[in-house]
Amino acid sequence: QLQESGPGLVKPSETLSLTCSVSGGSITSFYWNWIRQPPGKGLEWIGFTHHTGATSYNPSLNSRVTTSVDTSKNQVSLNLISVTAADTAVYYCARWSESVKAFDVWGQGTMVTVSS
């Protein structure tokens, strides 16, 4: 089970910070991803993170995003700096399964609006 949490409203130019709580499985066994979906639009991959510290980000966001895994809390985090209205979206946490090479478990998503 994955559960995203964080502020639903962020001001322009500020930092968007979200947490994904992982339960029912080993956080060290998977790559953890963030994916977002602007209202009425398609899915955009933000990036992945692994407990070893390995990360990879979408070049479209590379300079603004950081992700990490906290094994002591069983949580994955996302930070996106200098947000604009274009960052308004539902943000999903998703588990990448190496066995099927796909996102096999998704959180319910959390809506984040960027507005003053």
Partner 1 sequence: EIVLTQSPGTLSLSPGERATLSCRASQSVDSTYLVWYQQKPGQAPRLLIYGASNRATGIPDRFSGSGSGTDFTLTISRLDPEDFAVYYCQRYGSLPLTFGGGTKVEIK
Task: Specify the 3-state DSSP secondary structure of 86.
Answer: helix
Q: Which amino acid is at 100?
A: V
Q: Which is nearer to partner 1, 14 or 106 (CB)?
A: 106
Nearest distance from C-beta of residue 13 to partner 1, angstroms: 25
Q: Does 92 bind partner 1 (CB under 8 A)?
A: yes
Tell me how far, at minimum, the Cβ of 66 lies from partner 1, in Å.
16
User: Residue 58 interacts with partner 1 (CB under 8 A)?
Assistant: yes
Instruction: Kindly state whether residue 5 participates in binding partner 1, applying the rule CB under 8 A.
Output: no
Say whether residue 70 binds partner 1 (CB under 8 A). no
Q: How far apart are CA 73 and CA 93, in angstroms?
A: 16
d(CA 103, CA 10) in angstroms, rounded, equals: 27
Partnered with residue 55 across adjacent β-strands are 49
Identify the residue among 5, 56, 68, 74 touching partner 1 (CB under 8 A).
56
Handedness of CA 109, 42, 65, 90 (dihedral sign): negative
Q: How far is the CB of 71 from partner 1 (least distance, A)?
A: 24
Integer Cα distance of 62 and 27 in angstroms: 24
Residue 38 within binding range of partner 1, rule CB under 8 A: no
SS3 18: strand
Residues that bind partner 1 (CB under 8 A): 42-45, 56, 58-60, 92, 94, 100-104, 106-109
